[in-house]
Amino acid sequence: MIEQRQFYINGEWVDPAEANDHQVIDPSTEEPCAVISLGGQADVDKAVAAAKAAFPAWMNTSKEERIALVEKLLEIYKRRGAEMGEAMSMEMGAPIDMSSTQQVGAGTWHISNFLTAAKNFDFIRPLGDHAPNDRIIYEPVGVCALITPWNWPMNQVTLKVVAAAIAGCTMVLKPSEESPLDAMLFAEFMDEAGFPKGVFNLVNGDGINVGTAMTGHKDVDMVSFTGSTRAGIAISKNAADTVKRVHLELGGKGANIVFADADDKAVKRGVLHMMNNTGQSCNAPSRMLVQKGAYDQAVETAAEVASKVTVGNAHESGRHIGPVVNEAQWNKIQGLIQKGIDEGARLVAGGLGRPEGLNKGFYVRPTVFADVNNEMTIAREEIFGPVLTIIPFDDEEDAIAIANDTQYGLTNYIQTQDGSKANRVARQLRSGMVEINGQSRGAGAPFGGMKQSGNGREGGVWGIEDFLEVKSVAGWTTEADAAE
């Protein structure tokens, strides 16, 4: 049993203001694996005060100084990656092999891409040749409240912390209470890298208490939150009184449009993508839209592929998927599977209950529903588990209409060997991201959505810019630039 009851504030591990123990549950076993403390208003006040005091000096450091610290952070992160993989596997259920590669690797990827973006980022730029004495200055927003989820912990922590640090912001991080151990390791990395006191602070807690205290705090200048749309709405309302910037990365219900001329591996690729991380990804391709000429074969293939996806203990090596994060999520997913059955969808793989042989742990059967229409609950709500819905469509226009008929707009996918059609459809899909024929987005590409999937962009140049204010200066002395 790991016991970590301290917070990282102003460069030190400190005791919380009040003892409020919280057990972290291993979803593979349903047994406690750690005990942490949950904070309150006093802890948030202390962390915000430290970040506020550190801000003036930190914002005035050079870009080169900040880059050097992030480079040191990356070195430590790589060296201690095995510890990070074990922590995430234990606390949120990603199988150890997947956690050690994809989950840990997401952090390495983002830190590296931010370093590339930072080295080419000009914080002071000319407005243009028409105004030689005008400058545009990119200036840090200030003290940032960073709130991250449990499903891809290091993906989200690095997207926020590293971008904020490079921008010159100071911060308070609240990781999910479901997966706090990885964030505490990350705090050790930040400390070892030598970031000045108060630049990075960590307070554990739940959304109702610590999250609310952070997002409404008068001395917090910006909130960056990743999580549910419901929570994002509540945060926006709480932050409104102080008119702070609010960056939201929220839910998704991605459409994967499979045209009749898709390649032979398109359906299999879509099913496996959906099942990755046990379906606990906001950008999962959870609605597979299949053109009617290819529909029957696609359903057969999807059912076959899903039936071969194995489920097992996250601590065991292998290519299986693990449990979902907790009992509440398990119950929610079971309820939505039942809803799909009740509303008339055709169950072609998986279904209710745990997989055979797994009587303990929050395991879900890899599930596929066919003959779904876009009005069914399982086509509207984000399930956040290994559940795929298959919806037939007639033609290109019909596919676009179904794909866009959702409150979400995070990631959509297109499968066709007709390049012109792919480009045409991509332009019409109302989502922040589109991926064609299994092509992943490149290094430094922005991550973010439209509609109720949120606002703002994370990653690369766009991720740094989200933590910056734009200042316009007229009458800049160009001779001073030359002297420097």
List the end-to-end C-alpha distance of the chain, in Å, as a whole number. Answer: 56
Q: Which of 254, 227, 223 is nearest to 237 (CA)?
A: 223
Catalytic residue among 282, 382, 435, 458: 282
Catalytic residue among 177, 249, 382, 458: 249
| Burial degree of 255 (CB within 10 A; 0-12, 13-18, 19+) | buried
Distance CA 364, CA 130 (A): 62
Q: Is residue 71 left, alpha or beta, with left meaning phi > 0 and alpha meaning psi from -120 to 50?
A: alpha
Query: 383 by DSSP, 3-state: which?
Result: coil
DSSP string of 288-313, one letter each residue:
EEEEHHHHHHHHHHHHHHHHT--B--
- Widest distance between CA atoms in the chain: 76
What are 145's strand-pairing partners? 172, 223
Q: How far is CA 373 from CA 185, 377, 382, in A?
A: 45, 9, 15
- Residue 358's contacts (CB-CB under 8 Å, 6 or more residues apart) are 311, 312
Q: Are strands 200-202 and 2-4 parallel, antiparallel or unpaired?
A: unpaired
- Residue 421's contacts (CB-CB under 8 Å, 6 or more residues apart) are 259, 396
Distance CA 380, CA 395 (A): 21
Sole residue written with tokens 């931010």: 114
Distance CA 362, CA 381 (A): 20
Distance CA 244, CA 467 (A): 12
Q: Is 282 a catalytic residue?
A: yes
Angle at 443 between CA 438 and CA 444, to 5 degrees: 120
In contact, 426 and 436? CB cutoff 8 Å: yes
In contact, 348 and 297? CB cutoff 8 Å: no
Q: List, by residue number, the catalytic residues.
A: 249, 282
